[in-house]
Structure 1
C-alpha cells in the first residue's frame, strides 16, 4: 500500500481533531488523464460535506495542473453516484470494467470482480 500511495499524483486527508475521517487521491498521467481513486469517508461522517470537500480539493489539483482540457474518470458505488453527479460527473457513453491482474510465469489473465461497496476493518466505506 505505501508504494501505491506514493505513486499518486495528489492526495487529501480530512481530519477531525487528530482522527482521520476521510481521504482521497488522484492517479493518472498527470497531464491529460486523471482518475479519482479511493475516495472514502467514515460512515459516521458521511452526508456532512466531507466527501464533497475532498473531491473539490482533488478537482482543484486537476484545474491547477491540467492543460485546457483533461479527462477525469472514476469508479463509484451506486450509493456515491449523487456526490459525483452534483460535482458534474455523468455516466456518459462508456461502461466501466475492472479486474485484478495476477503475475504468472506463463500468461497474464484478468480475474474480474463486480464493483461493490467494501467495508474495511478500518471502518472506511470505499466509494
Structure 2
C-alpha cells in the first residue's frame, strides 16, 4: 500500500490439498526495481511454508527474467518433465 492504495499484489490458488500455483505477482511499473516484488514473493513463500502441508507441490509460470527471482525462493525449471502451456480464447464470428 502507498498512500492508501495497492501498488502491488500476489495470489496463490490451491486445490484444498497439496497442489498450489502462484498465479499472480503484479506491481505498478513505476515501482519496479525497489525490492517490492521480492517482498511480495517473500510473503507468498512464507504463506506456503506456514499453511501448505509438507510435500505440497507449488508451480508457477516465470515470464522472462522473473525466473531468476523465483529461483531465489527454491523454484527450479520443470522441463523436460513439464512445460507451461497457454491458450487464448477466440470467439467464433
TM norm structure 2: 0.81
Pick one of 52, 59, 81 that aligns with 2:38: 52
Gaps of 5+ in 2: none
Aligned residues: 90
CA contact (8 A) 2:18 2:57 kept: yes
CA contact (8 A) 2:7 2:27 kept: yes
Match in the other structure for 1:98? 86
Query: How far did 1:42 drift?
Result: 1.1
Gaps of 5+ in 1: 1-14, 104-127
Identify the structure with the greater strand proportion: 1
Match in the other structure for 1:31? 17
RMSD: 2.0
Higher relative contact order (CA 8 A, sep 6+): 2
Is 2:68 the counterpart of 1:82?
A: yes
After the TM superposition, list the runs of 4 or more consecutive aligned residues in structure 1 that deviate by more than 3 angstroms. 100-103
